[in-house]
Structure 1
Amino acid sequence: MKKIAFIMTALLIFASSAYAGSPSNVRSNCGCGLGYILFKDSKNPGILIQIFAATTNGTFGNQTFGISSGTLGCGQPSSFAKVDKMNKFVAENMDNLAVDIAAGQGETLDALAEIAEVAPAKRPQLYSALQKNFDKIYFQDNVNNQTVVSDVSGIIEKN
C-alpha cells in the first residue's frame, strides 16, 4: 500500500510540475502542425502541453503538409514556393519562353526572372547565360516544364 501511495504522489508531483512548468513557446519545441494549432493558446504551455502538441503532430503526420502548403502555423520555404510558381509559369508559357531564351530577351523571360527573384541588375548576365545554354535547356522537342525549370534554376544559381 505504501508503494502505491508513493507512486501516486510521485506521479501527482510530476504531473503538476510538468503542467505548471515555466512558460515557453510551444512552436519552438514542437514545431508547426495540428498540435501547434490546438495548443498554441495554452495559458501555461509546460512540458505536458508540449508533449500533447508533439504527439498530436506525430499522430496525424500533418507537419509535412503544413510545411509544403504554408498552413497549420508553418511557413512555406521560399525556395519551394518559388520553384512551384516557376513550374506553373513555365508550363503555361513553354513556347514563348523558348523564343525569349533563344533571343536572349523578352517579356516572358522578364516575368520568369521576376518570379525567380533575380535582381534587375543581374538579369542581362542571366539572359545571356540562358541564351548560351538554350540547347541544354531545350535539348529535345518534347521537354517538360520541370526539366526546363530545373535547368534554368541551375543556371540562375551559377549567376
Structure 2
Amino acid sequence: MKKILAGLIGAAVIASPSLAVNKENTGCGLGYMLFKDAPDSTVFEILAVTTNGISGNQTFGITTGTLECKQPEKVVKNDRLFKFVTENMDQLAADIASGSGETLETVSELMNIPAEKRDLFYSKLQENFDKIYSSEKVQSADVIDKIVEIAQEV
C-alpha cells in the first residue's frame, strides 16, 4: 500500500503543474496546511481532505480562526453550534429552504431561540436563504454569521 501511495504521489508531482492545492476543494484545516504548497492534483487534494477527515480538525480551526480557517465575524461563543453547522451544511441548507426540519430545530436550540419565536425565525431564515447560502462555496463561518444576524431581527 505504501508503494502504491508513493507511486501515486510521485506521478502526481511529475504530471502536475506547479500550482497549489485548491482550497475551495479541500477547505481549511491541517490537511490544507500540509498540502497547500503541493502541486494542484486530485491526489494531493484527496490527501488533504482525508487528513482533515481523519484528524477532525476543521471544527477546531473554524472555532479558533486557525489552520487558515475563517472564524465567524460575529463570534457566537458556542462551540456546539460551530460544530453542528460545519458538519450539517447541506442538510441545514435544505431545511432553511423548506422553512422546517431537524437541523433548524437544533440550530434554534443551540442559539437559545425561544420556542414562541421559532416559527418567525424559520421563516426569516427561509426568506433570506440566498443571503445565508450566497454561493455553492460558502463557508460555515459565513452561514453562522448570517444566521446570527437574522436571529437578532427576531
Q: Once the 2 structures are TM-superposed, how far is the Cα of residue 88 of structure 1 from its aligned partner? A: 1.1
More helix by share: 1
The DSSP-based 3-state class of the residue aligned with 1:122 is: helix
Q: Which runs of 5+ in 2 are unaligned?
A: 1-74
Could you say which residue in structure 2 is the equivalent of 1:127?
Answer: 122
* Deviation readout 1:60-93 (Å, 9 max, x if unpaired): xxxxxxxxxxxxxxxxxxx7432x3221110000
The DSSP-based 3-state class of the residue aligned with 2:96 is: helix
Q: Once the 2 structures are TM-superposed, how far is the Cα of residue 110 of structure 1 from its aligned partner? A: 0.2
Q: Distance in 2 between matches of 1:117 and 1:85?
A: 12
2:148 aligned to 127, 150, 153, which one?
153
Amino acid at match of 1:150: D
Could you say which residue in structure 2 is the equivalent of 1:81?
Answer: 77
Q: Distance in 2 between matches of 1:129 and 1:141?
A: 21
Could you say which residue in structure 2 is the equivalent of 1:137?
Answer: 132
Matched residues, number: 82
Do residues 101 (structure 1) and 93 (structure 2) align?
no
Do residues 113 (structure 1) and 108 (structure 2) align?
yes
Runs of 4+ in 1 over 4 A off after TM superposition: none
RMSD: 1.9
Identity of aligned residues (%): 43
Greater Cα radius of gyration, structure 1 or 2: 1
The DSSP-based 3-state class of the residue aligned with 1:95 is: helix
Q: Which runs of 5+ in 1 are unaligned?
A: 1-78
Q: For 1:52-67, list aligned pairs within 5 A.
A: none
Task: Normalising by structure 1, report the TM-score.
Answer: 0.49
Return the structure number with greater relative CO, CA threshold 8 A, min gap 6: 2
* Deviation readout 1:26-66 (Å, 9 max, x if unpaired): xxxxxxxxxxxxxxxxxxxxxxxxxxxxxxxxxxxxxxxxx
Amino acid at match of 1:87: F
Q: Distance in 1 between matches of 2:145 and 2:120?
A: 18
